[in-house]
Structure 1
Amino acid sequence: MDKSDISHIEVAEQGPKPPTGLHVELFKGDEVVLIPTPSADPRDPLNLPAWRKWVLLILVSAFSCTAVVLASGMGSIFSVVEASYPGQEAKANDLMTYPTLFMGIGNLIAMPWAFTIGRRPVFLASILLLLAGGVWCQCSTSLESHIAGRIIMSLAAGQSEALAPLIIQEIHFVHERGRKIAWFIFIQNIASGVFFVISTYMVSAWGWRWWYGFFTIMNAVIFVFAFFFVTESRFERTEEQMRGEASDPKIVDVSAVEEQYEPRCWRNDIQLFVSNPKFSDIPTFYKHVFQGLFIPTTVWLLLLNGANLGTYVFEASTFASILMAPPYNFSFDALGYVQAGQIVCCLVFLPLLGYGSDMVIRVFSRRNNGIYKPEYRLPVIAIPAIVGIICGIIYGRAGAHPESWSVASIVIGYNASYFAFLGANIVGITYAVDSFPFRAAPFLVVICAGRGFISFGLSYATLPAVATLGYNGTMIVEEVICAVLALFAIPMYFLGPRIREYVQSWCEPEKSP
């Protein structure tokens, strides 16, 4: 049921006020309730026509694709880059590990500004910074300069984790967010998978410096289109609108409404600032981030995402060295095809975790007399968690004893860890936003920035861990952690509503003095 391109706005009767984020009425009979309720203002991002929402989603996904490839996609070409710095092999590992740390720091720096001055200016600035970082890396003259360039680039790339999904969720309704976020991840990672495959050929033909150059040119093109089509997604809404309720029980005709509101036009859409920024909101944002660290729900999502991302980064840092050594003896060019398995992951991920997630909440909500609870998002995490844990342990065994395991153990194990991270990612961001709609931005920072710090710690310990525990021991430790955190979805399913009720006073809109 797609009501993105509406000619009228259906306003439901106002009922008793439930606690924010606890539960909302998703169905009235056979009709889906639009949550949040779109306002009568034509400039409300929820009232964007369907084609504009798709263009915006594709552009945000394109930025996220180049950000992910530049910050995290060096695995298949790392051996060539490392060879450029003889005698500095250990230090060169920082090119792989530092990006996850500084992507998290980038979230902490940029998201308060997105909260204060708007999503659009921060998004456009992030593209420009990513572009500048790419030029820096391309022109770097030393390993230290190269690392510094990747740090700058990663500060911008971090906006692919929190800001990008926030923009997409703000222009869509609750009943369609799962599949729209899945499309975002699908487009981002299908394109990334293609670039992972061709990266080895690009580097073989042009050298690694023009690998950066290619994506710098691509980011310049993305910026031009984003300037015209990525409109501001922030919009002030009442508590009733956030719950899918409205104050006037009647049908409002948009043609009549336009007499009261300024119609949407390109001049409005390309404005950098749509409202006067309140810089006093920045400390408030950090206060909300700090509060999120004391809510069991967000802490669990943070740990779950961090553990799965750390496992994936560990495997991304080690698969090439395993496959290029005997008995597998992979050529450099063949390494890109290993990461092409991420395309397969996305083909499975979109229907299973995207449309499947929205289907699950529909079924569960209908069984609950039309009432939706954010916990209905949690069951879909079971499949990626089980697949990731089993295949991760096999990866460790194959890395320790390659003569006894086929190459598929490494290839499938590596891509399965990516699939597990995708599962933790989509559950984390949709569950957090649905549970705490008025704290979506700061709580996404808790998850996305925090997981970057955790994964950095885990991945930075890659070489010492392999030296001490071996591939097998390291993967067993990491997968046990992932398994325990995944099992916490069971108590969280039952305790989540009580947790939200307990912290409700923290998560309501700030009252104006």
Structure 2
Amino acid sequence: MSSSCRLPAETPRVSEQQRITTFQCATYWLTTTVSRSLDPLNLPLWRKNITVLIVGLYSAFAVLATSGMGAIVTQVREMYPPEDQDRVSDLLTHPTLFMGIGNLLAMPLCVAVGRRPVFLLSLVILVASGIGCACSTSLTSHIAARDILSVAAGQSEALVAFMVQEVHFLHQRGRAATWNAAIQGVVTGAMFVATTYLVPAWGVRWWYGVITIVNGVLLIASFFLVPETMYDRVLEDDGNETGSPKAARVTTTTNHTLDPERYGARTWRHDLKVFHFKPRWHETWTFYKTAALSFCIPAIVWLLLLNGAFLGVYVFHSSTFATVLLGPPYLFEFGFLGFVQLAIVLANCIGLVVIGYGSDWIIKLMSRLHKGIYQPEYRLLSAILPSIIAVVSCVIYGQTAQHPDQWSWAGIVVPYAAGYLAFLGANTVSITYVVDSWPAEAGPMLLVVAAGRGFISFGLSYALVPWIARNGYDGSMRELAIICGVFALLGIPCYVFGRNIRVWSKKRLYPSPAC
């Protein structure tokens, strides 16, 4: 079936609880008022909000544990003898690689056994590996425990994004994804500030200790409050063929038959179960096959490259801003570096409004302009502003870092936050576009984007020092700006031919009905 769906000519003036969802496709022909329906789309609003909050906090502390060491690397080096100093950098560079590996392992597993058990297992591993990092007696054991921690933290990317999308209707996904990212960014930024005070006072081991305690609390909260979000929906398509341009009828009623004998009724006892499905191990092979085939889809390859490039901008900024600000002429005090992270908090607040709500507003506007027909390609228009921001931030950052005597310190801090905002935008566009376009294949495709950009980031982290040594800050940033600009322009053919690409992929690569 086409991913298109028709808006009602007039939306009744009713309460928010009764309002017809304007972009509810035939895939989701469900009753939104059936309280005992097991479809996570029909969860009460407070359960959806608490799910977004918990997984957002999980993501925040996963990012803090894996990426927050850059600000305290000086204290970490003091823990080890001179002969180990060259290996200390492994504590900083390994996480992105092992987060990608974690995605490769966990995402197929969540298809076989469900999202909830994989999410809970990730929290268990985070707690255990956090204790291992805090109690490590050598650099080797510290690196090993940190690598395991990074494998579990990898689910903060694709799996969390998948879970957030699965409990929200199509027209709510942009804001939901950005709320999740905003929670992650705000909490991470606040903890970065706290880190610069906590570590000098209590040491690196208690830094791990605080993170582990929070993860333990999140594990308990998740067991009681985060439901299983995977659900096998009955597709009702009026006989349309996959890829048909015929628009789907929007409705708030359904012929969808609940199957309590298979799924059970939605009760607290039901929700507390860890496993809701019999393991379907054969689907792991299907998952990897789907992921491999997605490399044949130009739009997916483009999203991977765009995410990798924009993440590269953020990695470049986050890896070098402290060196520039601590040196002349700025001579920042170490404690002030934590407050620089408040710029990330501001970027998340801006991103929530401009990218999250703006994305949903754009698709509503474009659908009205096209007689109520929704196309997932409307989501790609939300990538325009982040692309401009990424290119401009690269240029300003490079010039400021190379010629600090000619620029204010704001030339470092503002582009640092802007680069993160650009990555946030690319990430949000990728998640919503993939889930809207290929709902049945979204998991493997999100894996390709999330894991792929992790590997790209790992490669950049090793190339960073020689890159700067060869071209300087301005030359390196200029090259990265060109890369971001070229990849952004590739979005034009993806927008123009996006529908044809989707129809072709569903007929040739994924011939079974996907939505």
TM-score by length of 1: 0.90
Gaps of 5+ in 2: 12-19
CA contact (8 A) 1:311 1:455 kept: no
Q: Match for 1:212 among 208, 230, 239?
A: 208
The Cα of 1:62 is off from its aligned counterpart by 1.1
The CA distance in 2 between the partners of 1:363 and 1:338, in whole Å, is 37
Establish whether residue 507 from structure 1 lines up as the match of residue 510 from structure 2: yes
The Cα of 1:384 is off from its aligned counterpart by 1.9
Q: Which amino acid aligns with 1:386?
A: I
CA contact (8 A) 2:344 2:420 kept: yes
The CA distance in 2 between the partners of 1:371 and 1:510, in whole Å, is 20
The CA distance in 2 between the partners of 1:410 and 1:250, in whole Å, is 50
Relative to 1, partners in 2 of residues 1:283 and 1:84: Cα closer, same or farther, differing over 3 Å? same
CA contact (8 A) 2:398 2:473 kept: yes
Q: Which amino acid aligns with 2:56?
A: S
Tell me which moved more, 365-374 or 385-394: 385-394
Tell me which moved more, 337-346 or 381-390: 381-390
Establish whether residue 460 from structure 1 lines up as the match of residue 462 from structure 2: yes
The Cα of 1:80 is off from its aligned counterpart by 2.1
Q: Match for 1:277 among 260, 274, 279?
A: 279
2:74 is matched with 79
The Cα of 1:25 is off from its aligned counterpart by 2.4
For residues 287-436 of structure 1, the aligned pairs below 5 Å read 287-436=289-438
Q: Secondary structure at the match of 1:240?
A: coil
The CA distance in 2 between the partners of 1:66 and 1:358, in whole Å, is 28
1:34 is matched with 24
Q: Secondary structure at the match of 2:236?
A: helix
Q: Which amino acid aligns with 2:457?
A: S
The CA distance in 2 between the partners of 1:403 and 1:306, in whole Å, is 31
Q: Which amino acid aligns with 2:346?
A: V
Gaps of 5+ in 1: 1-17
CA contact (8 A) 2:313 2:390 kept: no
The CA distance in 1 between the partners of 2:226 and 2:120, in whole Å, is 9
Establish whether residue 153 from structure 1 lines up as the match of residue 149 from structure 2: yes
The CA distance in 1 between the partners of 2:498 and 2:253, in whole Å, is 35
Relative to 1, partners in 2 of residues 1:252 and 1:495: Cα closer, same or farther, differing over 3 Å? closer
Relative to 1, partners in 2 of residues 1:501 and 1:349: Cα closer, same or farther, differing over 3 Å? same
Q: Match for 1:121 among 117, 124, 136?
A: 117
The Cα of 1:270 is off from its aligned counterpart by 1.0
The Cα of 1:79 is off from its aligned counterpart by 2.6
Establish whether residue 24 from structure 1 lines up as the match of residue 5 from structure 2: yes
Relative to 1, partners in 2 of residues 1:252 and 1:379: Cα closer, same or farther, differing over 3 Å? closer
Identity %: 46
Q: Match for 2:97 among 94, 101, 104?
A: 101
The CA distance in 1 between the partners of 2:59 and 2:469, in whole Å, is 34
The CA distance in 1 between the partners of 2:71 and 2:483, in whole Å, is 27
The Cα of 1:260 is off from its aligned counterpart by 11
Q: Which amino acid aligns with 1:363?
A: L
Relative to 1, partners in 2 of residues 1:178 and 1:385: Cα closer, same or farther, differing over 3 Å? same
The CA distance in 2 between the partners of 1:353 and 1:380, in whole Å, is 7
Q: Secondary structure at the match of 1:503?
A: helix
The CA distance in 2 between the partners of 1:492 and 1:510, in whole Å, is 23
The CA distance in 2 between the partners of 1:85 and 1:474, in whole Å, is 32
Establish whether residue 141 from structure 1 lines up as the match of residue 137 from structure 2: yes
Relative to 1, partners in 2 of residues 1:257 and 1:140: Cα closer, same or farther, differing over 3 Å? closer
The CA distance in 1 between the partners of 2:442 and 2:157, in whole Å, is 13
CA contact (8 A) 1:180 1:354 kept: yes
CA contact (8 A) 1:62 1:188 kept: yes
Tell me which moved more, 48-57 or 94-103: 94-103
The CA distance in 2 between the partners of 1:261 and 1:106, in whole Å, is 29
The Cα of 1:245 is off from its aligned counterpart by 5.8
The CA distance in 1 between the partners of 2:117 and 2:43, in whole Å, is 19
Relative to 1, partners in 2 of residues 1:156 and 1:445: Cα closer, same or farther, differing over 3 Å? same
CA contact (8 A) 2:228 2:271 kept: yes
CA contact (8 A) 2:5 2:248 kept: no
The Cα of 1:251 is off from its aligned counterpart by 4.6
The Cα of 1:259 is off from its aligned counterpart by 11
CA contact (8 A) 1:200 1:333 kept: yes
Q: Which amino acid aligns with 1:399?
A: A
Tell me which moved more, 93-102 or 23-32: 23-32
The Cα of 1:26 is off from its aligned counterpart by 4.1
The Cα of 1:27 is off from its aligned counterpart by 3.9
1:69 is matched with 64
The CA distance in 2 between the partners of 1:182 and 1:468, in whole Å, is 37
Q: Secondary structure at the match of 2:497?
A: helix
2:88 is matched with 92
Relative to 1, partners in 2 of residues 1:120 and 1:26: Cα closer, same or farther, differing over 3 Å? farther
Relative to 1, partners in 2 of residues 1:322 and 1:259: Cα closer, same or farther, differing over 3 Å? closer
Relative to 1, partners in 2 of residues 1:169 and 1:63: Cα closer, same or farther, differing over 3 Å? same
CA contact (8 A) 2:107 2:444 kept: yes
CA contact (8 A) 2:186 2:344 kept: yes
Relative to 1, partners in 2 of residues 1:315 and 1:84: Cα closer, same or farther, differing over 3 Å? farther
The CA distance in 1 between the partners of 2:375 and 2:359, in whole Å, is 13
TM-score by length of 2: 0.90
CA contact (8 A) 1:438 1:509 kept: no
Q: Secondary structure at the match of 1:372?
A: coil
